[in-house]
A and B are shown apart, each in its own frame.
Chain A
Amino acid sequence: MNVVLKGWRPILVLILLIIAWEISCRLCNIPGWLLPAPTEIVQEMVSGWSNYNGHLLATIKLIIIGFLIGSSVGIFIAVCLHLVPFLRQAFYPILIISQNIPIIVLAPLLVIWFGFGMLPKIIVITLVCFFPITVSLLDGFRQTDRDLLHYMQMAGATKRQIFWKLEWPYALPSLFSGLKISATYSVMGAVISEWLGASKGIGVYMTLASSSFRTDRVFVAIMVIIILSLLFFLFILFLEKRIIRWKPGEEGNAYESA
């Protein structure tokens, strides 16, 4: 409720933009294949549901599988790099540089190597997903409170105890900020991977629509993708609220010298 109350300004701007779009489409008689009016898009979204619901399901399945695998890989890599300093020194710079390779240029290679099945698509999603998670989780591990670490070490905690009792819970908020980014990336990854070649999926629906100049359907696909990203993001946000019940970033009293 609070969000709605506070968020009325951006919502108002959005509504005004859509109204302007609608009016200019009608006034200037812009043809539907060039730019459909918002009302036409909504109409197609509702009436064409049976045309794309199969595609939608396929994409959701792909996103979930890809995201689960991608984030597991991301967490695994972060933990390995954190626990073995040699690996971190060796691989962290490479990892950063590797992010300069646009995933889309790797896609044709993946098709050559793995064909048009599920595997290359999951690889694409994994590649876009794991990086934000690895980087933010590693960051979280590194920011572990020094005083707490010293306390644990002096108390004789083993490396394993320090990891599970201190570093892992300490890094959870960072992990979630990585997961939130990856959640939206995985939707994008899924659509891109479907462009490469698939029999079903929102990406396929979109390519079909654009090659037959059904611009309204292209917009429907875009809307569906936006909604999916948003829902996915909200789901992660919900999980975060459930899992992290303490207040992060709490600080002690300011220093007062007597």
Chain B
Amino acid sequence: MNQLEIHNLAKFYGTKKVLKDISFTVRDGEFVSILGPSGSGKSTLFQMIGGITKPSSGTIYLNGKNINGKRGHISYTPQSASLLPWRTVLENVVLGQEIAGKKDLEKARKMIKRAGLEGFEEAYPHELSGGMKQRVSFIRSMMSPQSLILLDEPFSALDEFTRLDMQQWLLSIWEEHKKSILFVTHNIEEALFLSDRIIVFSSSPTTIKQEFSLPFPRPRDRKILLTDEFLHWKRKIYQSLSGDESEQLSK
């Protein structure tokens, strides 16, 4: 079943084409990554899916319903953790539910515990490390009633070690709840390790270059990072990306 379906999406600002010919789907419970150079109109795409910018042409369907310009259907996690500084961890986690109407503090406490943040329920965001803030932000999305989560380069501000831990952690939480995730990154390894499918974007104007379905089984282990198959895929995707934008990639 296709949960998110995007048909021929395009966006112009004046005469400037930002996005064109974007068509892809995210199935129910699927983890899809968008891989592309920074500044390739990915945030514009997210704003359109989130309903705060209207596409110039094309349609976005969620569970068969047209959601062009409609808000409240997805849960978005921005690049920065974006927690409300005056709310405690617990209060931040229930924010998504609060907006939708009802909050479940018991479930939130359980999720916080499951996320390894036990004892920090009453802490304020400024007391947490970068990785912890991202965890809180991600649990907030998992707790939200929406079934599609957009993650916008959530780990780009973290150091390499924390990032690896966070990726593994993200998978372990996600595998329990099986929400659909659309994940943006410019890190090839990250995309390979996390996703079921990778969509490679090119920049100015943004179009889809290629789409890959990955064969790695779940649950995933960090060991696959060093297998020949993984490296083979890495090369394949690198070749797809390389050319004009390769030097803009972080790795």
Contacts and interface: CB of A to CB of B under 8 A. Distances in A.
B100 interface: yes
A8 interface: no
A150 B75 CA distance: 10
Given A155-B99, A165-B98, A148 B84 contact: yes
Contacts of B75: 154-155
Interface stretch (B10-18, B125-133, B237-245): B125-133
Interface in B13-61: 47, 50-52
Given A156-B72, A156-B99, A256 B124 contact: no
Contact of B124 (A147, A153, A169, A247): A247
A147 B78 contact: yes
Interface in A244-258: 244-248, 250, 252-258
Contacts of B250: 257-258
A150 B124 contact: no
Contacts of B146: 155
Residues of B contacting A: mostly: loop
Interface string B160-172: 1001000000000
Nearest to A148: B82
A252 B74 contact: no
B126 A169 contact: no
Nearest to B131: A253
A150 B157 contact: no
A20 B75 CA distance: 68
Interface residues on B, range: 35 or more
B78 A150 contact: yes
Contacts of A166: 84
B80 A150 contact: no
A165 B47 CA distance: 21
Contacts of A255: 156-157
A258 B167 CA distance: 14
Given A253-B157, A253-B158, A256-B157, A156 B100 contact: yes
Contacts of A254: 157
A203 B163 CA distance: 65
Interface string A137-171: 00000000101101111111100010001100100
B194 to A, nearest CB: 15
A155 B144 contact: yes
Given A250-B126, A258-B187, A155 B82 contact: no
Contacts of B74: 154
B142 interface: no
B251 A258 contact: yes
A103 to B, nearest CB: 35
Contacts of B156: 255, 257
Given A154-B50, A252-B130, A147 B86 contact: no
Contact of B99 (A145, A152, A169, A257): A152
B35 to A, nearest CB: 15
A84 B76 CA distance: 27
A50 B136 CA distance: 61
A150 B47 contact: yes
B159 A256 contact: yes
A152 B50 CA distance: 10
B82 A151 contact: yes
B72 A165 contact: no
Given A154-B76, A247-B126, A255-B157, A145 B98 contact: no
A173 to B, nearest CB: 10
A258 B156 CA distance: 8
Contacts of B158: 253, 256
Contact of B50 (A150, A165, A246, A248): A150
21 contacts: A147-B79, A147-B82, A151-B77, A153-B50, A155-B71, A155-B72, A155-B75, A155-B96, A155-B100, A166-B84, A244-B86, A246-B86, A246-B124, A247-B124, A252-B80, A252-B157, A255-B157, A256-B158, A256-B159, A257-B156, A257-B250
Interface of A: 145, 147-148, 150-157, 161, 165-166, 169, 172, 244-248, 250, 252-258
Query: Considering the complex of A and B, which 10 residue pairs feature the smallest CB-CB distances, nearest first?
Result: A156-B72, A154-B50, A253-B130, A147-B78, A250-B126, A154-B76, A247-B126, A147-B82, A246-B85, A246-B86
Given A165-B84, A257-B156, 4 more contacts: A148-B78, A150-B76, A172-B86, A252-B133
Interface of B: 47, 50-52, 71-82, 84-86, 95-96, 98-100, 124-126, 129-130, 133, 144, 146, 150, 156-160, 163, 187, 250-251
